[in-house]
Amino acid sequence: MAPSFRSTHSSDSSGQPPASLSQTTFSSTSSDVTSIHTFGPREKSPCKVLIVGAGVGGLVLALCLERAGIDYILLERTQQLPVPKTTIQLGPNTLRAIEQLGLLDEVMQVAKPVSGLTLMKHNMTVSGRIDTLFCKERYGHYSCVLQRSEFLRILISHLPQGKVLWGKYVLEIVNGDAGVQVRCSNGYVEEADIIIGADGAYSAVRQNIYRTMKTKNLLPKSDEEPLKHSLNAIIGITQPLDGSRFPVAYQQFSEVTVVVGKDPLYSLWLSPIVNNRVVWSVSGELLKPEDGDNTNFKQSEFGPEAIDAVCGLIQDLEIPWGGTMADLIECTQRDHMTKIMVEEKQFKTWHYGRVALIGEGQGAEQAIMDAIYLANHLYRLDETPVHEDYVKIFEGYQRRRAPLVKNAVQMTQSLTHLMNTQGLSADVKRKVMFSLPDWLKAAGADKLQVRPLLDYLAPVDDRGKKSVKSSNIM
C-alpha cells in the first residue's frame, strides 16, 4: 500500500481529511506512516489530469482516476485500438489490484495461466525448467499471459464515452507553475493541472520535458544519450490452431518454451494463449539491430516486404512440437506480426515540473503499479493543491519506483543477454539458472513482490501465503 500524501493544506486544525473525501474511513499503519483511508470517489475533483497514451499504463491510470472521482482526459495518437500483435504477462503483483477494480473475471476469460518456462537447445533437448505454478499458493494468483489488445479493450469498456480522445498526436507541451497545456498535430489544444505521459519509450511527452530540461542544464547526461537496442525480434500471434496438429494449444496452462539455437545464434519463444492460439517470437543474429541514432525516440516496425523477408529467414527453424516455424507462420496473418526492439537504456528522469512519466518500457506490470501509486497520492490532494504539492508527489513517485525499475531492467537485460549469447560459458550459465533449487528461485521471486492496492477502494484479500516485505511496499 502506498503511504498517504498529505500536503501542507490537506487538513484543518483537527487533522481531518478534506471534506470532499468520502466519510467511510479506516486506519492503517505502514512501516513509516499512519494514514486515514477513505472508500469511494471524491465529491469534488482536486485537479484535472491529462493522460497521454492509451497503453496499459495510461488506461489503468484513467480507470483508477475514474473510480477516485478525479477529473481526467486521455489523448491517444492512433485512431483506434491496434490489431492483436503482442501479449503481456500479468501476475500477483497486479492481479490483486485488478480484482479490486472488478476486472479479474473479465481478464481471466482472455488470459491463460502460465505453468512454467522450459529451456531447450537447438536439437530440442531440454536444458532445464522453471516452474511458476507455486505463484498461486505463495502469492495468491498464477502468472498469466494474454493479448495486450484484449486487456486494453477491457479497460476502455469500463471508461465513460468521451474520456479517450483518439487521433490526438501531441506536438508541444507548456509546463508552467499554474498548469499545463498541450497542442496536438491537428490543432487540438487541451489544458489541465498536470500531465502524465504514458506514451511509451518513444514518448512525445518525454521528448518535450527532456528538451526543456536540457536547455536549463537539468537533464542528466545519461538521459541525453539515444536509446540503444541490443537486438531486434519479430513477434506474431497465430490464428486458432488445429488441435490434432498442435494439441499444446488446447491445454489448460501455457508452458512457455524457449529454444536457444546457434549458427547463427537465435532464441525462439513459444507460448500458447487462449482460443487455441500461440504467440511466437524470434530474436538474435538472424535479425540484426539497426545502425545509427535514427531509432532514438522513433517507433520502427517491419513493413510488408520486410515481414516476408524475415519470415524467409526463420521459416526453417525447428519447433519443439514437430515441424518448423513455417507451420506457425502459415497460421499467422501478416498484420498480426510486428517488430520488437529490445532496449538497454534505463532513464533516470521520470518527472519535471507538472509532468510525470509512466511506462511499459519495464513491462505492463510496472506501468500498472506506477498508475496505482500516482492515483493513491492524487486522491489525497487537498481541494486546492498548489504547484509544490504536485512536485512532492512526483518526487516521491520517482524515489519509490526507482529500485523496482532497476531490478526489473537488470533482470530483463540479464535474461536477454543469457538467451542471446553463444559459447560454453553461456551454455553453463543457462544450465545453472534453470537448475536452481526451488527454494532459491522462490526467494528471488519474493524480492519482486509488491502487490499494491488502491487506498480508496475496498481492499481485497491477499490470498498469498508469503506476505510482502515492508521494504517492498510502494
Cα separation, 202 vs 206, in Å, equals 8
Give the whole-number percent of the chain exceeding pLDDT 90: 59
Higher-confidence residue: 240 or 428? 240
Band of pLDDT at residue 434, cut at 50, 70 and 90: confident
Element spanning 343, H or E:
strand 337-343
Write the pLDDT tens digit of every residue in 374-406.
999 999 999 999 999 999 999 998 888 877 777
Band of pLDDT at residue 293, cut at 50, 70 and 90: very low
Top mean pLDDT of 230-239, 315-324, 355-364 is at 315-324
CB of 275 closer than 8 Å to CB of 240 = yes
Q: What is the Cβ-side half-sphere exposure of residue 410, based on CA atoms within 13 angstroms? A: 7
Q: What is the pTM of this model?
A: 0.86
CA distances from 381 to 7, 22, 44 (A): 7, 13, 11
**Could you write out the DSSP letters of every residue in 92-152?**
HHHHHHHHHTT-HHHHHHSEEEEEEEEEEETTS-EEEEEE-THHHHHHSS--EEEEHHHHH
pLDDT averaged over the chain?
84
Phi, psi of 77 (to 5 degrees): -70, -30
Give the whole-number percent of the chain exceeding pLDDT 70: 81
- The pLDDT score that the predictor gives to residue 138 is 93
Cα separation, 20 vs 42, in Å, equals 6
Cα separation, 42 vs 398, in Å, equals 25
- Inform me whether the pLDDT recorded for 136 exceeds 50: yes
CA distances from 433 to 125, 254, 357, 388, 444 (A): 16, 21, 34, 47, 12
If one counts every other C-beta atom within 10 angstroms of the C-beta of residue 17, the result is 20
**Could you write out the DSSP letters of every residue in 80-96?**
SPPPS--EEEE-HHHHH
Band of pLDDT at residue 131, cut at 50, 70 and 90: very high
Write the pLDDT tens digit of every residue in 259-288.
998 878 889 999 999 999 999 999 887 666
- The pLDDT score that the predictor gives to residue 305 is 77
- The pLDDT score that the predictor gives to residue 386 is 96
- The pLDDT score that the predictor gives to residue 276 is 97
Q: What mean pLDDT comes out for the span 302-323?
A: 87
Residue closest to 154 by CA, chosen among 62, 254, 41? 62
Amino acid at 118: T
Write the pLDDT tens digit of every residue in 61-119.
999 999 999 999 999 999 998 888 899 999 999 999 999 999 999 999 999 999 999 99
Residue closest to 41 by CA, chosen among 378, 456, 459? 456
- The pLDDT score that the predictor gives to residue 400 is 83
- The pLDDT score that the predictor gives to residue 135 is 93
CB of 401 closer than 8 Å to CB of 346 = no
First to last CA, the chain: 6
- Inform me whether the pLDDT recorded for 438 exceeds 90: no
Find the radius of gyration of the CA atoms of the chain: 23
Q: What mean pLDDT comes out for the span 366-370?
A: 92
Band of pLDDT at residue 448, cut at 50, 70 and 90: confident
Cα separation, 367 vs 362, in Å, equals 7
- Inform me whether the pLDDT recorded for 159 exceeds 80: yes
- The pLDDT score that the predictor gives to residue 361 is 56
- The pLDDT score that the predictor gives to residue 362 is 62
Write the pLDDT tens digit of every residue in 343-354.
666 788 999 999
If one counts every other C-beta atom within 10 angstroms of the C-beta of residue 29, the result is 8
- Burial (0-12, 13-18, 19+ Cβ within 10 Å), 36: middle
> Which residues, including other chains, have CB under 8 Å from residue 315's CB and lie 6 or more apart?
324, 325, 326, 329
- The pLDDT score that the predictor gives to residue 360 is 53
For cell 512525445, name the residue: 204
Q: How many residues are present in the chain?
A: 474
- Inform me whether the pLDDT recorded for 407 exceeds 90: no
- Inform me whether the pLDDT recorded for 13 exceeds 70: no
Write the pLDDT tens digit of every residue in 17-55.
343 444 444 444 333 334 445 578 999 999 999 999 999
